[in-house]
Structure 1
Amino acid sequence: MIEYLPRSKQHTELYLTQFGVEECIPSHFFGPAIRSHFLLHYILGGEGIFEVDGKRYRLQKGQGFLIYPDVITYYQADSVNPWSYCWFGFEGTLAELLLKQAGLTRESPILTYDKDDKIYNYLKLMAETNGNGNHKARETRMTGLLYLLLSVLAEYGPVTPTEQRESRAEIYVEKVKEFVETNFAQKITIEDIARIVGLNRSYLCSLFKQQMNTSIQEYLIRMRIHKACEMMQNVELSIGDISRSVGYNDPLLFSKMFKRVKGTSPKHYRTENVE
């Protein structure tokens, strides 16, 4: 079974190009050749070999291999115990990043997942979406299933070298920055942030100060003012609209914080910087 899919126009970050399953005959092979997209094979049974960049891997049930776009690869089923596998072809601006989160790169193209049948079940669910009569709905559902598949691989995949190099302090600080950037418009407090990150408030503030050379409160204020400056490009928004949109229900407090950061009032800033 194999299905080829058209290029997605609504899911440019990640989308399927094909998927399928095959029970190979003994010594069945493909390549050496290149592919134009990412292609992830997952072995359902049997064994075989995969060759890329001068390396040979012998693989079996519960393992898989990633083919990078425009990279020459070769793979062959075993002559005695040929493998069967399912595969997923995909592209998108987030594809490589999501694969890296799962520990899959050109240098580390082998995956191991032998916990359950989730990967194969995702393929079956993709196939079952056919025939619902709504192409856009099917495309979105299949993209969602692809995200779920990659999330499983990320959850149980190896720790990447990048993650190993990061100190725990850097990880916590990054969580604070991500939370602030996502929730700057809400009435968030340092206690809220500490609870989400999972650290004592005083300890988290100390870590953040050491890493960023500024306090969490000051980082939040500057993030809000930065976003406010971006919003000022939209002339349909009043200063009050912008104030509320960045977490300040009191326009006077907003003006005070804005002037402290930018050295001028919001109104004067807009006059000088927005055409």
Structure 2
Amino acid sequence: MDNFKYLETARRDALDLARRDTLDLFVCYCGIEECKPGYSYGPAIRSQYLIHYVLDGEGTYYVNNKTYKLKKNQGFLICPNVITFYKADTENPWTYIWIGFDGIKASTYLKYANLHKDNLIFEYDEDDALKEYILDMLKHNTLNYGDELRIQGLLYLFLSRLIHTAPPYLQPKDKASKLYIVKSIEFIEKNCSNNIKITDIAHYVGLNRSYLTSLFKSNLNMSPQAFLLNFRMDKACELLGNVELSIGDVARSVGYTDALAFSKVFKKSKGMSPREYRSKIT
């Protein structure tokens, strides 16, 4: 595992990784630098996402004909294939950490942190976590498999801190509503055998019950209660085809502890009792 470079000087500590085993999200390089007065980089184009976070001092970021003056506890995002230039202040030059990364989900996670081409600047003043994550990456520069996984995990932690302090990411209304429906259905599929309620589904997706109900009605023309019931009854029909399962077994498998109550609901839904349905299909 020697596809990396590690460089340490009095002012600069950096790790450059060449492995790209993880497609979702991976670190390309990271580092920390105490810049000299007036130090600059660019104009340049990067092929990955790159975040700089200012630990001390000041500097300026130039991108898309815009100028951003930055100081301690502020940071900036560089997007792939965009010409950028940044420069340390001549009197109070900045010290910053940086981390370059890419992957299929990189842009999605950045949007969750409210970072994208229309919002390239952020602030983080809660603690020293961002700095500590980068320093931890730099300590594990031997890059054996354990270190590689640690660096990967630290990248997720780094982004999670930015997401935690960012304003909520608002997806387009129609896309967001469909996502809530998909996640609700996934929850129902995984928990069908448990005694789940609509409030449990709403809590899982982070909505109140009334709003979740309105989303189901507008997207599926039924309430979540009706969807849950239909799902359970359809699942019961599938399980009734297995003659090794008793009616009580089927009832428990779809969230009913009382076989009699299950039979009543099933008959109302399907027009026949579970035993009648079984005899019909087997």
TM-score interval, smaller chain? 0.7 to 0.9
Count of residue pairs brought into register by the alignment: 242
TM-score (norm 2): 0.71
Q: Secondary structure at the match of 1:87?
A: strand
The offset of 1:143, in angstroms, is 1.4
- Secondary structure of 2:90's aligned partner: coil
RMSD value over aligned CA atoms? Answer: 4.0
After superposition, give the CA deviation of every residue in 1:32-61 in whole Å (9 maximum; x if it has no partner). Answer: 110111110000100010000000001001
> Which residue matches 1:7?
19
Instruction: State, as a whole percentage, how many aligned pairs show the same letter.
Output: 36
Q: Does 1:120 align with 2:131?
A: yes
1:185-229 deviations in Å (ceiling 9; x for gaps) = 323332432454463x5x3564234432222144447778999xx
- Is structure 2 residue 183 aligned with structure 1 residue 184? no
Indicate the SS of the match to 2:190. Answer: coil
Alignment partner, residue 155 of structure 2: 146
Give the distance between the partners of 1:38 and 1:226, measured in 2 at CA: 46
Aligned partner (choices 87, 111, 117) of residue 76 of structure 1: 87
The verdict on how the C-alpha distance between 1:195 and 1:110 changes in structure 2, with shifts beyond 3 A counting, is: closer
SS at match of 1:207: helix
1:193 to 194, 201, 211: 201
Given the alignment of the two structures, is residue 211 of structure 1 paired with residue 218 of structure 2, yes or no? yes
Measured after TM superposition, the shift of residue 184 of structure 1 is 0.9
Task: Give the counterpart letter for 1:136 in structure 2.
Answer: Y
Distance in 2, Cα, partners of 1:61 & 1:139: 30
Residues 128-143 of structure 1 correspond to what in structure 2 (within 5 A)?
128-131=139-142, 135-143=144-152
The letter of the residue matching 1:39 is: L
1:23 to 31, 34, 43: 34
TM-score by length of 1: 0.72
What is the correspondence of 1:43-58 to structure 2 with a 5 Å cutoff?
43-58=54-69
Q: Specify whether residues 121 and 219 from structure 1 end up closer, same or farther in structure 2 by C-alpha distance, changes over 3 A only.
A: same
Which amino acid is the alignment partner of residue 201 of structure 2? I
Mark the runs of 5 or more structure 2 residues left unpaired by the alignment: 1-12, 236-244, 257-261, 271-276, 278-282
Q: Distance in 2 between matches of 1:79 and 1:119?
A: 25
Q: Distance in 2 between matches of 1:49 and 1:150?
A: 23
- The alignment partner of 1:185 has SS state of helix
1:81-92 equivalences under 5 Å are 81-92=92-103
Query: Does structure 2 conserve the Cα–Cα contact (< 8 Å) formed by 1:181 and 1:223?
Result: no
